[in-house]
Structures are given as structure tokens and as C-alpha cells.
Amino acid sequence: MNPIAFSIFGISIRWYGILIALGLLTGVLIAKYTSRVKEVSYDKFLDMLIIILPASIIGARLYYVLFELDYYMNNLSEIINIREGGLAIHGGVIFGVLTAFIYIKIKKLNFFKYADVAAPSLIIAQAIGRWGNFLNQEAHGGPVSNEFISHFPEFIQKGMLIEGQYYHPTFLYESIWNLAVFAILILIVRKSKITGLAAFSYIGLYSIGRLFVEGLRTDSLMLGNIRIAQLVSLVGILVWVVALIYFFLFRRNREYHV
């Protein structure tokens, strides 16, 4: 499995970066549709994205480095090397949301409407970006038998054969789950009049899938014996449930300006 797609003037261009860029582009195109449905300005969404994107990348890297601090304290030059992976989606989302919140407060826009627009774009970008992990042969699960891996397409089998051992293609599990969540979020954006429902459903539905997948992975960021991604996922599910109770029992069909 070659993680390098091609080289230009001696500079290696990796599949990881290409797939992240492809996910971003797909998300931007999807947002053009969801902006129209939610009746918000697509141009303002793009303006916001220009600010959010670098903040999210920095946040995703800092989050990852924070939980691998022992390594990076002894390898400071590696902190800025993201070409081989090491971006934590939870850190990216947290920094992105905070940046968006500040921007929208300044511009006096409706935060939850723009969050609803962004939710399907974000999850489809994650679904595509996970294939970068596959080509880097990272973010996989524990060892599996030849019989188990034989149920997958041959190229998946080859990619999950690392140093003579087959591993769970957890990137694939999460990618498929994210595609299903994308379909649900698009349906919510189209059919629901509850502002904020798509955004909170992204948090909850993604967290459900990540909670399961993270339990299979071998490279989890840890806090003692706790897998950080599972802890954050549990919080995400709880936030979603509380939001659903609020929306459907107390504030249904009402607009929220935050």
C-alpha cells in the first residue's frame, strides 16, 4: 500500500491530503444545496469557512498532540508534520464550532441555521477523509483472522495486511456509518422545520458510530485507561438526547438565535 499518490518537483503528494481535500470540496458543494434549503447566504457560509478551516486543522492537530505529549515533547519538529496523519476530528470540530460561534456573533447571524447547513457537509467530508487513513494503513482495529477479512473486497484485504497480519478495517466501518448519517441529515435538512435539529443530530449520530468503532481501534488517544474518543462520544450522545427532548417537548418549531 503506497500512501504517496505522485510527486511534483521532488515533493511527495500523499493520498491522505488528496482525500481530505476531496472531502472538503464535496462538503462545500453539498453546502450550496443546504444553504438554499435553509435560506441562508451561501457566500457568507464560504466566508465563514475560510476562517473556520485553518482553525479546525490547528485544533485537530493540537488535540492529537496534547494526548501524545510525551512523544512530541521529544520530537518538537514533528508537531507540524500532518502529512502522515495525526488529526483528531473531535479537536477539529471543537475549534471549528468555537470559531464559527465567534464569527456569527460578530456578524449577528443565526448560529443554528448555519450549523444545520454545515452538518451534512462535515459528515460527508469525514466519510471521504477516512479513506486517507486506509491508504496510510493507520486508524485500524485489532487483529482478525483470514476467514474474517475474506468477507471484504480484495483491495481492502490487501490494505489491511500489515506486516503479515490482517486487521479490522475500522476506517471502512466508520465511513459507511458516516454515509448513512449523511443521508439522515440531508433528510432532516429537507423535511424538518426545527432549526438546530440537523446540527445536534450530527453530534449524536456520529457519536454513536464512533463509540462503537473506537472500541475496536488500537491507536486510541487515552486518558489513563479511558479512550478519549469514547468519552467524548458519550457526552455527544447525551447532548443530542437533551436537545431532542428540548426540541420536541418544549420548543418545537421555534427559531433559535445564538
pTM: 0.91
- pLDDT tens digits along 186-240: 999 999 999 999 999 999 999 999 999 999 999 999 988 999 999 999 999 999 9
Band of residue 86 on the pLDDT scale cut at 50, 70, 90: confident
Q: List all residues 6 or more positions away from 131 whose beta carbon is below 8 Å from its beta carbon.
A: 15, 19, 171, 175
Band of residue 132 on the pLDDT scale cut at 50, 70, 90: very high
Residue indicated by cell numbers 481492502: 156
What's the DSSP call for residue 167? B
- pLDDT tens digits along 159-182: 999 999 999 999 999 999 999 999
What's the DSSP call for residue 12? E
For residues 243 and 197, what is the distance between their CA atoms, to the nearest angstrom?
8
For residues 130 and 128, what is the distance between their CA atoms, to the nearest angstrom?
5
pLDDT at residue 90, as a whole number: 94
Q: 253 by DSSP, 3-state: which?
A: coil
Q: 102 by DSSP, 3-state: which?
A: helix
pLDDT, mean over the chain: 93
CA atoms within 13 A on the CB side of 103: 20
Query: Which DSSP helix (H) or strand (E) runs through 131?
Result: helix 111-136
